[in-house]
Structure 1
Amino acid sequence: MVQLGFSLYPEGHDQESLWNYIQQFPREMFSRVFLSFLQLNPSDQALLHHYQQIVAICREAGFEVVGDLSPQLLTGLGWEADILGQARAFGLTGVRLDEAYSASRIKELLDQEREMTLELNMSVDSKLVTDLLALGVSPERLTACHNFYPKAYTGLSKSHFHFMNQVYRTMGLATAAFVSAASAQQGAWAYDEGLPTLEEHRQLALADQLRYLLAAGDVDTIILSNQFISKEELQIMIEVFETNKEEIELEWESDLVLTPLEEAILAYPHHYRPDISDYLIRSTMPRLVYGQKDHPVRIQEKKAKRGDILLANQNYGRYAGELSLALCDLELDERTNIIGRLSPYSIELLDFLKPNDAFRLRRKEGISEPT
């Protein structure tokens, strides 16, 4: 089951304000807190104490807390000899190593402290996890998390992102990645260009970032990377997660005046037939429910493009009422109507739909029925 997480950057904020912020995240959806230590000065004891208090607050609220640490910071803190033991004493439930030690050193750390998990940076390499498993480290002691990228044009490509996800999941590790919210302006560094894992997500609405990762299905935890998301955007995040964790939601629009029957078929809960076609994703059930209704022929150019929403009309006999999504450009005849089109970003999600998957079609917000 996919879970959500969120990030905290406690410096400059008192315990009460952070506690109030933490309380907004429902425990049944959000399981962990990401806490970056990379920007900290290890000699600032007052700030470190503040961090430790915030960790305690998060643990009291029922969240796991993973601290992002670097070898340089660990040296400055004096934790090098017993990294995981010191982190557990600090209150953390896991440690993410932004820059990794050798496989043999990590195995020593895990053998020293058996109650902690160690999280690897999965954006850069897979050799380390291969070496760790070869040394006998159980994948249950390890997790993996991508980076987020504050600087524009430095985020991961989709091909690399999905390749690394597949590598780590094949080895039995839980995976995580970051999304960022437009209303949340604070991160570890003084940049305001978003904090996504995928570069293509940098300017994308949070809802669409979530829909993409949930549809792709190769990340176990999706973490909000920046701080102080608005209540309104958090509610959108929660609603999108609730809707998309079990089925893929595709956004559509239409410049037609749709009939009540067409609207009903679009709103119907759809199911991808298990017999795969290169040309269509077929949803058969609407024809069984609405096939006996009147499905008039639409007089229109019958040239469909990938992402068009097709509806078999009354001239198609037993297929009348069947809804399909075009997977490529198609030449149609008068037996099929084109009643709408997926939004550009939803078209990308077609690649993630698999036979037997449930999916829903949702009208694009701000698009009203033409009159």
Structure 2
Amino acid sequence: MSCLGISIYPEHSTPEKDKEYISLAAKYGFSRIFTCLLSVTKPAAEIKAEFKDVIEHANRLGFEVIVDVAPRVFKDLGITYDDLSFFSEIGAAGIRLDEGFNGSVEAMMTFNPAGLLIEVNASNPGMYLNNIFSYEPDKSKLIACHNFYPQKYSGLGFDLFYKCSKNLKDLGMRVAAFVSSQTEGTYGPWPVNEGLCTLEMHRELPIDAQARHLFATGVVDDVIIANAYASEEEMAALAKVQPAKLTFGIELEITDLSDVEQEILYDFNHFVRGDLSDYMARSTMPRVIYKEASIPARNTRDLHRGDIIMVNEDYGQYKGEVHIVLQDMPNDGRKNVIGHIPIYEHVLLDYVTPWKKFSFMK
């Protein structure tokens, strides 16, 4: 089951602000928290007290909290690989290993007495995961999460991201990735903050478009906002995303849609016909439900990839169908161009497949 998450960085904030943010996220159904010890330099006792206070608040609201660590953190805090009690004592559900060990260590960690989840770095194209699996870990305690990249142009390219994620999914693992809030003044664990995302192509996009793309790939289970604090508007937008459904933004060209046209466009449960054409994805059931409705011809320009059209009444029994245009083609006047999908969302067209459910955002 997919879920949404946020990130908190207690060393850069206050417990009061973090708790308020966590409570807001709970309001919108978020259930994961990423937090980081890599940039924390305080003594172990002080770290434990601060993190425990905030994590206890999160746990009361049903969050799963994963703490990012690396070998250096173990050394600095006097933690050994066979005694992870520090993390269970602060209330964490698991630890994320930003840097790997030798495979055997990770596998043994999955048998920790507290039952902590061991999250490995998903942004790793080598044989690292296969090595861990060769040491017979407890697979039920092993999950994966990608990196985020504060430096502009340093994020993952899509092909590498997909290769890494697909390998993890093929191993039966739960995979998380990060999206970036576009709210001014957000921050991460480090001074450099030019957006915090996993995929470089997402860095400047609206946060819900980032999430819709990650879910559409089919290789990401959980989406986490990397920077703090995202706005309530962004949380609300993410909360509306349905991971199993393709959801498109639409830039309207017909702004005075009739009530019937709005019902068909926004409220109908659209799905792509199984006999998918190279030229368009058809939602054909509206023609049955709205066969008596009036849909006069208007805005019948030629059609381009990403256009959203509604068949008008000049097309007889096909009136009311909704099409997503996949290839340019002429329009003989029987198809109304309702609007078009924003260019930055055209990547979602790659996931239009037979029987796929889809909808449009108002």
For normalisation by structure 2, the TM-score amounts to 0.90
Give the conservation status (yes or no) of the 8 Å contact 1:287–1:322.
Answer: yes
**Structure 1 residue 316: Cα displacement:** 2.5
Which stretch of the first structure deviates more once superposed, 262-271 or 214-223?
262-271
Give the conservation status (yes or no) of the 8 Å contact 1:215–1:353.
Answer: no
Which stretch of the first structure deviates more once superposed, 23-32 or 214-223?
23-32
Q: 1:88 to 1:299 in 2, by over 3 A?
A: closer
Map Cα deviations across residues 96-125 of structure 1 (whole Å, 9 max, x no partner). 110000111222333454612210001123
State the match for 1:145 in structure 2.
145
Task: Note if 1:202 corresponds to 2:203.
Answer: yes
Q: State the one-letter code of the partner of 2:143.
A: T
Secondary structure of residue in 2 paired with 1:235:
helix
> Where do 5+ consecutive residues of structure 2 fail to align?
none
Give the conservation status (yes or no) of the 8 Å contact 1:139–1:171.
Answer: no
Q: 1:263 to 1:112 in 2, by over 3 A?
A: closer
Q: State the one-letter code of the partner of 2:193.
A: D
**Structure 1 residue 173: Cα displacement:** 0.6
**Structure 1 residue 245: Cα displacement:** 3.5
| Two-structure CA RMSD over aligned residues (Å) | 2.4
Residues in 2 aligned to 1:282 and 1:85: alpha-carbon distance in whole angstroms: 55
Residues in 1 aligned to 2:236 and 2:39: alpha-carbon distance in whole angstroms: 30
Secondary structure of residue in 1 paired with 2:32:
strand
Q: State the one-letter code of the partner of 2:252.
A: S
**Structure 1 residue 140: Cα displacement:** 1.4
Identity of matched residues, %: 33
Give the conservation status (yes or no) of the 8 Å contact 2:300–2:334.
Answer: no
State the match for 1:278 in structure 2.
278
Which stretch of the first structure deviates more once superposed, 166-175 or 14-23?
14-23
State the match for 1:293 in structure 2.
293
State the match for 1:367 in structure 2.
none
Secondary structure of residue in 2 paired with 1:99:
coil
**Structure 1 residue 42: Cα displacement:** 5.8
**Structure 1 residue 7: Cα displacement:** 0.9
> Where do 5+ consecutive residues of structure 1 fail to align?
364-371
**Structure 1 residue 13: Cα displacement:** 3.4
Map Cα deviations across residues 137-173 of structure 1 (whole Å, 9 max, x no partner). 2321200000011000001112222222211011011
Map Cα deviations across residues 220-261 of structure 1 (whole Å, 9 max, x no partner). 1111111122333333333x33xx235322122233465524
Which stretch of the first structure deviates more once superposed, 289-298 or 216-225?
289-298
Aligned length: 359
**Structure 1 residue 212: Cα displacement:** 1.9
Residues in 1 aligned to 2:244 and 2:107: alpha-carbon distance in whole angstroms: 37
Residues in 2 aligned to 1:163 and 1:106: alpha-carbon distance in whole angstroms: 22
Secondary structure of residue in 2 paired with 1:62:
coil
Q: 1:42 to 1:279 in 2, by over 3 A?
A: same
State the match for 1:160 in structure 2.
160
Give the conservation status (yes or no) of the 8 Å contact 1:42–1:77.
Answer: no
Which stretch of the first structure deviates more once superposed, 48-57 or 66-75?
48-57
State the match for 1:187 in structure 2.
188
Secondary structure of residue in 1 paired with 2:160:
helix
For normalisation by structure 1, the TM-score amounts to 0.88
Residues in 1 aligned to 2:178 and 2:104: alpha-carbon distance in whole angstroms: 29
Residues in 2 aligned to 1:330 and 1:272: alpha-carbon distance in whole angstroms: 19
